[in-house]
Amino acid sequence: MDKNTILGFVLMGIIVVAFTWLAQPTPEQLEAQKRYTDSIATVDSIRLAQDQIIKQNEQVEQMLITDTIAVATDSVRNVILDQTYGEFSQNAIGEEKFITLSNELLTLKFSNKGGKLYEAVLNNYEAYDSTKVTLFTAQENNYGFMFKTNARVIDSKSLYFEPIATDSTVTMRLAFKNGSIFDVRYTLPKNSYMLKMDIVQNGMDKILPSSVVYLDFYWDQTMRRQEKGRMFEERNSALYYKFYGDDVENLSQGSDDNERVTTSLKWIGFKNQFFSSVFIADERFNEGSFTSQMMKDDFYLKKFHAETTFNYDPSSANPAGFSFFLGPNSYPLLKSYDKGRSGDEELDLDQLVPLGYQFFRWINTWIIIPIFTLLGKFFSNYGIIILIMTIFIKLVLFPFTYKSYMSTAKMQVLKPQIEEINAKYPKKEEALERQRATMDLYSKAGVNPMGGCIPMLLQMPILLAMFAFFPSSIELRGESFLWAHDLSSYDSIFSWDTYIPIITPYFGNHISLFCLLMTVTNLLYTKLNMESQAGSQQMPGMKVMMYMMPLMFLVFFNNYASGLSYYYFVSTLITILQTYAFKKFINKDKVLAKLKENQKKPRKKSGFMARLEEAQRQQQAALREQQKKNKRR
């Protein structure tokens, strides 16, 4: 309490005492005067409490005012409401009520306090604890509008709306004394994850000044954990936003982050690994301020906050409209919302599904997902679907794999001749001659020393595309195969609770069997390759490094989707079987005889080989010239 306030109370007391002594009222007047003085004191004390609370915390202020109003007399309550809320005063008190809308996919609960969506439940999905997936409930999700009058700012979350419900629509209404209304109308279509939200009003130009040309909108959400593997779910959760007519961006997934954008936005989304809440403007948002905060709570992942504005006309009957997507991150579903849209109006909600960089994303969207979806129509077990898809990919790549093995076989049968060349030019200064003779041998025999790399280059984009596809495929979520209960998460065969530094943060507190099998097959394949290269020159330490790579995969993939490890395991296993089959059916004696025949035939040098030999001659001449200069010195 400051000095001016204390002085005011002292002067007020002196005036009241002096007036009472001079006026000499009757007992009835004294009683009336007492009631009046008590009312004035109550109002003043409430005003003082309100000022102090504003300085400390807005939320505490609202709670105290509400509690004071509840116990105050009707006359005092009206004074407080008028001073605090102005034209909105009749909507400032009430009782919280809930109304539910549902369809085949969603069950939504609305609260008349704030006129907001209070709870969202997905009917066809379960969380890791076997309950229905609840995107949010109670205070986990808050959003509202800020009404700015000439004297005050009113937050819609502190107001009580009048709920009006029909079969598929809930209208939350603010009614005013002068007959004006402000409605937030929610409509849930059948079999849809998209909730329509429209502002419908009448006479709001009598409530808000004409200078109001936009409304502030805020949205807060504390994101729940839905999956068994928290580490990977956390990595794939973030705040996303789409620039109007432009790209989709997101805040950091692995650390606290914030961003301020000053250009128009089409939508703002809070994305989990497999589920999202997205607020979409019919027109556009004017700007945005976003914050993402990591949480250590076992039940929650992150805390998101978004602030924005949208154009608003108090005299318009329908000033703004929105859509609220509440559903799974399914690529076909999200892509379908762009049907009939073009240009700046495209939503690009499918960007919520991380399918890799643009080139790898193209492989997923145009090849992998259509095949995956097609197989899903004929097979119900996704482990079988992954197996069939792996075999299909291997068949497509078989000609290149065969060519790669043939190139390796040719290099192997030419090893004796390569060793003769090495013996002929053993000195370091003869490296260019040795290289020239080797390339000449390859050219005459018709062998491309880089032929074995082409299939690997062709397979790498597919391997990387799969790396992005499996952890993002909601179709695998909750699908079991063999010992794996959920192909979208790790398949633990052994786990522990003790926190182990370095190991727990990166490897986790479990061992995944499919990941272990993938590692074993990669070690076998590495051994097979090393045996095929026996006798060839290798860099020091290369053998150790080759064996270390599969062991690194064990650490890296232990927390990834078991469907991904299963795919890599099957793919590598098929490659090993193909290698053994090639060894059995390809006769290296016949290959050598064919190469010797090629060496006897006159062969026209390709432009590349001619340029390579010319570069070698020039390099050799320069080296000889340098050696002569060194001898003269």
pLDDT, tens only, 284-306: 999 999 999 999 888 999 999 99
Residues 308 and 376 reside in one and the same domain: no
The answer to whether residues 285 and 372 belong to one domain is no
User: Does the residue 311 lie in any domain?
Assistant: yes
419 located within any domain: yes
Q: Is residue 544 part of a domain?
A: no
Residue 208 and residue 245 in one domain: yes
Examine the pLDDT at 204 and tell me if it is beyond 50.
yes
Same domain, 214 and 310: yes
Taking residues 147-163, report their average pLDDT.
91
Q: Within 13 Å of residue 34, how many CA atoms lie on the same side as its CB?
A: 7
Q: Are 259 and 178 contained in the same domain? A: yes
Q: How many C-beta neighbours within 10 Å does residue 367 have?
A: 14
- List Cα–Cα distances, 47 to 68, 158, 383, 454, 541, in angstroms: 11, 18, 67, 79, 79
Q: What's the pLDDT at 6?
A: 45
d(CA 389, CA 371): 7
Any domain includes 452:
yes
Q: What percent of the chain has pLDDT over 90?
A: 39
Q: Point out the domain boundary residue: 91, 108, 130.
A: 91
The stretch 371-384 carries a mean pLDDT of: 90
What six digits make up the tokens of 324? 């609220």
Q: Higher-confidence residue: 431 or 256?
A: 256
Mean pLDDT (whole number) for 153-160: 92
Verify that 307 and 188 share a domain, yes or no.
yes
Going by pLDDT thresholds of 50, 70 and 90, the confidence category of residue 12 is very low
Specify whether 87 is located in the same domain as 114. Answer: no
Tokens of 74: 């009707």
Q: Taking the CB of residue 276, how many other CB atoms lie within 10 A of it?
A: 22
Whole-angstrom distance, CA of residue 310 vs CA of residue 219: 13
Residue 274 has a pLDDT of: 94
Q: Identify the residue with better confidence: 236 or 193.
A: 193
For the cut 80, the answer to whether the pLDDT of residue 117 exceeds it is yes
User: In this structure, is residue 28 part of a structural domain?
Assistant: yes
User: How would you classify residue 502: left for phi > 0, otherwise alpha for psi between -120 and 50, otherwise beta?
Assistant: left
- Residue-wise pLDDT for 86-96, tens only, equals 889 888 888 99
Q: How many domains does the chain contain in total?
A: 4
> 236 and 131, same structural domain?
yes
Assess whether 232 and 284 both reside in one domain. yes
DSSP letters along 324-336, please? Answer: EEEEE--HHHHHH
Token pair of 313 as six digits: 């006309």
Indicate the pLDDT class of residue 217, thresholds 50, 70 and 90: very high
Query: Final residue of a domain: which of 91, 115, 149?
Result: 91
Residue 466 neighbours by CB distance under 10 Å:
24
Q: How do residues 25-62 score in pLDDT, each as one tens digit?
A: 555 544 544 544 454 444 444 444 444 444 444 444 45
Residue 110's pLDDT is: 96
For residue 240, tell me if it sits in a domain: yes
Burial of 399 (0-12, 13-18, 19+ CB in 10 A): exposed
Does 106 fall in a domain? Answer: yes
Q: Please indicate, yes or no, whether residues 404 and 438 belong to a single structural domain of this protein.
A: yes
Number of H helices, E strands in the chain: 18, 21
592-617: per-residue pLDDT in tens?
776 666 666 655 555 555 665 666 66
Q: What are phi and psi of 19, to 5 degrees?
A: -65, -40
Closest CA to 168 of 202, 201, 132, 192: 192
Report the C-alpha gap between 628 and 633 in whole angstroms.
9
How confident is the model at residue 490, as a pLDDT? 85
Domain stop point among 91, 121, 142: 91
Output the pLDDT for position 538. 52
Range of the domain at 416: 365-489+563-600
- Residues 6+ positions from 455 with CB-CB distance below 8 Å: 397, 400, 401, 403, 404
Share of the chain above pLDDT 70, in %: 75
Beta bridge partners of 321: 198
Tell me the average pLDDT of the chain: 80
In the predicted model, is pLDDT for residue 446 greater than 70? Answer: no
Which residue intervals of 325-484 are DSSP H helices? Answer: 331-336, 358-363, 369-376, 382-413, 415-424, 431-445, 453-472
3-state SS string for 165-220: ECCCEEEEEEECCCCCEEEEEEECCCCCCEEEEEEEEECHHHCCCCCCCEEEEEEE
The closest alpha carbon to 320, from 222, 204, 412, belongs to: 204
DSSP string covering 483-544: TBS-TTS--EEEE--S--TTHHHHT-SEEEHHHHHHHHHHHHHHHHHHHHTTTS---TTHHH
CATH of the domain at 153: 2.70.98.90
Both 592 and 607 in one domain: the answer is: no
Give me the mean pLDDT over the 255-261 stretch. Answer: 94
Find the Cα–Cα–Cα–Cα dihedral 356, 357, 358, 364, rounded to 10°: -20
The sheet with strand 98-102 has its strands ordered as 98-102, 106-111, 116-126, 132-136
- Directed axis angle between helix 431-445 and helix 607-632, to 10°? 160
- pLDDT tens per residue across span 394-424: 888 888 888 777 777 777 777 777 777 777 7
Residues 479, 584: one domain?
yes
Q: Is the pLDDT of residue 533 over 90?
A: no
Full-model pTM: 0.75
- Among 239-243, 340-344, 508-512, 572-576, the range of highest mean pLDDT: 239-243
Domain-located, residue 245: yes
